[in-house]
Amino acid sequence: MNLRNLRISFTASLIAICITCGVSVQAQQSPTNTSIPPQAILQPAELVQMLKSSAKPLVLQTGSHVLYAEAHIPGAEYAGPAGKSEGIEALRARVAGLNKDSLIVIYCGCCPWSRCPNIKPAYQQLQALGFTNVKALYLAENFGTDWVDKGYPVTKGR
Amino acid sequence: MERTARSSTLGSLLILSLLLLLFSAPIGHLPLAAQTATHGVGVGHSAPNFSRPDLSHRKIVLSSYRGKVVLLNFWATWCEPCLTEMPTFVGWQQQYGSRNFQVIGISMDDAAPEVIATVSRLKLNYPVLMGDEYLGADYGGVLGLPVTFLIDRDGKIRARYQGASLTRIKDDIQNLLQSNTLEP
């Protein structure tokens, strides 16, 4: 009887540990802590493929101008730091006149995803303006680690 | 019956161990990789020299700090993790300054006014100067913040930190101050 109880409690512990580990791994691999819905998240490898196609999306960097000047995605435009009011204004000005169903990819990569001050405001602003096809590039750590170090294409300059 | 139960328990233990190994590997790997990143400007090579005015218009020449252990911290006002760790650097400057230790901050902000306000608010006790893409490129690409370099008394880069714990950095500083070497 004792052995049986031991087995039951052991199995329960095993399940609990597996669930905990699974959640931890999931938390490290998936975007969290922002209000950007999963369907609007774009992985770097997906964007690389999109950039190879003939119908390229509009790519906007919505973070630091210094970091943009150092390295950015070829074809990406600098649209201002969306964490600041002047950045939001610059973003609004850039997308004014675009069709609401235009594919727009935004990215920042200044800081770890969950602590980025720019990506969420940029996404929310575009949503508020009625854009229906906005994707946020998921850079878990930063642009250097998750894009440049992966060997994806970059260019520099302001 | 008892023997069967014991075998099952041992089997469960084995499965548990395997599962723990499987799940703990990536969890343990990520911070380690972040802490020991050596890409960019080479660890063990001379720190690229620069000469720029700090926010008080005092000329800061990195090579003039030879003989001191230098903590070179790239940061920005919009970088929350940067602002979190900077008060600790203030403490280290106070604690180790008399032992030939110097923190130098390089802001990667686009403009100085917010930097000046933040330096004042955080009561930074070390020089801060404005960086740009050229200085970032000299240091192997500062493409995510914070990034911090530890430079020894001979002007050589001994570590590059991105996502490292402050405890690890502090240990390295103490080792360098004591013997000008780092624990492997």
Mean pLDDT of A18-42: 60
Q: Are B95 and B159 in contact (CB under 8 A)?
A: no
pLDDT at A57: 95
Would you say residue B109 has pLDDT above 50? yes
Q: Which two tokens stand for residue B127?
A: 């020089």
Q: Are B47 and B151 in contact (CB under 8 A)?
A: yes
Provide the percentage of residues in chain A whose pLDDT is more than 70.
78
Q: Do A111 and B144 touch (CB under 8 A)?
A: yes
Question: Tokens 């931890």 identify what position?
Answer: A24
CATH topology assigned to domain B51-179: Glutaredoxin (3.40.30)
Provide the terminal-to-terminal Cα distance of chain B, rounded to the nearest Å: 53
pLDDT band at B173 (very low <50, low <70, confident <90, very high): very high
A61 touches chain B (CB under 8 A): no
* Parallel, antiparallel or unpaired: strands B101-107 and A58-61: unpaired
**How would DSSP label each residue in B87-135?**
HHHHHHHHHHGGGTEEEEEEE--S-HHHHHHHHHHTT--S-EEE--HHH
Say what the pTM is: 0.76
pLDDT at A13: 53
pLDDT at B30: 27
**Closest by alpha carbon to A58, among A102, A96, A101?**
A102
| Residue A5 C-alpha, separation from nearest chain B C-alpha, in angstroms | 11
Q: Are B145 and B117 in contact (CB under 8 A)?
A: no
Domain spans, chain A: 1-30, 31-148
Q: Which residues contact B91 (CB under 8 A, 6 or more apart)?
A: none
Q: Do B108 and A11 touch (CB under 8 A)?
A: no
**pLDDT averaged over chain A?**
84
pLDDT in tens, B57-78: 999 999 999 999 999 999 999 9
| Residue B41 C-alpha, separation from nearest chain A C-alpha, in angstroms | 13
pLDDT at B46: 95
Q: How many CB atoms lie within 10 A of CB B120?
A: 10
Would you say residue B7 has pLDDT above 60? no
Provide the percentage of residues in chain A whose pLDDT is more than 90.
69
**Residues of chain B found within 8 Å of residue A150, distances taken between Cβ atoms:** none
CATH code, residues A31-148: 3.40.250.10
**Residues of chain B found within 8 Å of residue A15, distances taken between Cβ atoms:** none
Give strand pairing partners of B148: B73, B161
Cis peptide before B184 (omega within 30 of 0): no
Q: For residue B147, give the chain A residue with the closest CA.
A: A111
> Mutation test of the interface with chain B: which of A110, A116, A137, A138, choosing the one with the most B Cβ atoms within 10 A?
A110
pLDDT at A108: 95
Residue among A3, A24, A71 whose CB faces B5 most closely = A3
